[in-house]
Amino acid sequence: MTMTNASTALIEEIKTILAVARQKAATAVNFAMVEAYWLMGKRIVEEEQNGATRAQYGEGMINMLSRALVAEFGKGFSVANLRNFRQFYLVFQGTGIRYALRSELSWTHYRLIMRVENPQARAYYITQCAEQNWSSRTLERNLNSLYYERLLSSQQASNAVAAQSNTQTIHDFIKDPYVFEFLNIAEPYSIHEKTLESALINHLQHFLLELGKGFSFVGRQFRISTETSHFYIDLVFYNYILKCFVLFDLKTSKLKHQDIGQMDMYIRMFDDLQKQLSDNPTIGIILCADKEETVVKYSILNDSEQMYASQYRLYLPTEAELKQLLENDRIAFALNQADQGSQP
């Protein structure tokens, strides 16, 4: 029997229906187990609280429970896993909290998130995993690179009105620093800007994940022309949430005032020559190997709502190194605010 185009289309449609159904079934089963783990953790905690001496009673009870469950259901109910279920409930306890758990997240997601101490950070990671369809590997990478804290650092540098607004602003999208460990660039980290640009494009999917939600790639070495000259912007994206173009200028050295002047010109030209009436003003981000705070303080970067400078790292810093970078930014911002407050 000869396959017609209609037959082929029917087969592909049926395959899609089955694939979607299987995915839904797998998601439902996974979430049912997440709920079961929460309920198990709840009962363990309740039983511990009824024990005469909680610590000894609780440990003995978990060991006993583990032996019984492993014997019937397998090694997935080891003592270590039961402790995880207990911790899961303690982190997400409260009246009806299991109904607030997101079905899009697997047990692996929750096992990673429940180790985050900051409740606001936990809520952020849960929302992003669900809305942006983060895999557990992506989540782990973002936890290790302090993704939330880097966004928060940018938000703290925004003005008070934007920080208190319920609407999303550019400060909800910019990180400082950006981490590009996925490029696998060997030490020593002495590279040309063209090499960095090519590497980011070759790893565009990872780059988009690091940039965050809403970004779509427009072009590299994007040309804008006047009547007398041509100019080329390293990387151009469009953010469909912010509804604006976002320009990136790559600098493999310390930020200089000439870099700021160049980006300012690019933004003005893009607004004049490329932006549509329905678009918001263009955003420009200078990605530099090192950010000179004096240059930032005494330039239009200090109070611009369209231009920003962020450092990048070609390796995944330790948590201590990242926290120190964020603390340095916080101190610089506080000193800058104090200087502005002292001015007549």
* E strand spans, the chain: 178-179, 215-225, 230-239, 244-254, 283-290, 307-313
HSE toward the beta carbon, residue 40, CA cutoff 13 A: 21
pLDDT digits (tens, 9 = 90+) for 262-302: 999 999 999 999 999 999 999 999 999 988 878 887 888 88
CA distance 340 to 344: 9
Mean predicted lDDT score pLDDT of the chain: 84
CA–CA dist 208, 216 (Å, integer): 8
How far is it, in rounded angstroms, from Cα 90 to Cα 117? 12
pLDDT band per the 50, 70, 90 thresholds, residue 149: confident
* Residue that finishes a domain, picked among 39, 72, 101: 101
Asked whether 72 and 97 are in contact (CB, 8 A), the reply is no
163 shares its domain with 288: yes
Kindly state whether residue 47 falls inside one of the protein's structural domains: yes
Based on the domain organization, do 190 and 265 belong to the same domain?
Answer: yes
Q: What is the pLDDT of residues 103-119, one digit of tens each?
A: 899 999 999 999 999 99
Is residue 290 within 8 Å of residue 253, measured between CB atoms?
A: yes
Least confident of 40-44, 57-61, 293-297: 57-61
Domain residues for 49? 5-101
Residue 124 lies in a domain: no
Strand order in the sheet with 215-225: 178-179, 307-313, 283-290, 244-254, 230-239, 215-225
Q: Which pLDDT score, from 0 to 100, does residue 163 have?
A: 37
pLDDT for 17 beyond 50: yes
How many CB atoms neighbour CB 215 within 10 A?
19
pLDDT number for residue 164? 39
The DSSP letter of residue 308 is E
Q: Please indicate, yes or no, if residue 131 is contained in any of the structural domains.
A: no
The predicted pLDDT at position 243 comes to 94
Residue 173 confidence class, pLDDT cut points 50, 70, 90: confident
Residue 211 has pLDDT above 90, yes or no: yes
Which one-letter DSSP state was computed for residue 243? T
Sorted by sequence, the CB contacts under 8 Å of residue 63 that are 6+ apart come out as 79
| Beta partners for residue 237, in sequence order | 217, 246
How sure is the predictor about 159, in pLDDT bands with cuts at 50, 70 and 90?
very low
Total of domains in the chain: 2
Single-letter amino acid, residue 286: I
Please report, for the domain that includes residue 296, its CATH number: 3.40.1350.10
Residues 21 and 86 in one domain: yes
Residue 203, pLDDT > 90, answer yes
User: Is the pTM value of this prediction over 0.85?
Assistant: no
Question: Mean pLDDT throughout 162-168?
Answer: 46
Examine residue 327 and state whether it is found in any structural domain, yes or no: yes
What average pLDDT does range 236-257 have in this prediction?
A: 94
Section 160-184 average pLDDT = 71
Radius of gyration over every alpha carbon of the chain, rounded to an integer in angstroms: 25
Question: Lowest-pLDDT range, 27-36, 38-47, 93-102, 181-190?
Answer: 93-102
**Reported confidence tier of residue 303, pLDDT bands at 50, 70, 90:** confident
Instruction: Compute the residue count for the chain.
Output: 344
Residues 161 and 61 in one domain: no
Domain contains 257 = yes
Q: What would the pLDDT profile of 66-79 be if each residue is shown by its tens digit?
A: 999 999 988 889 99
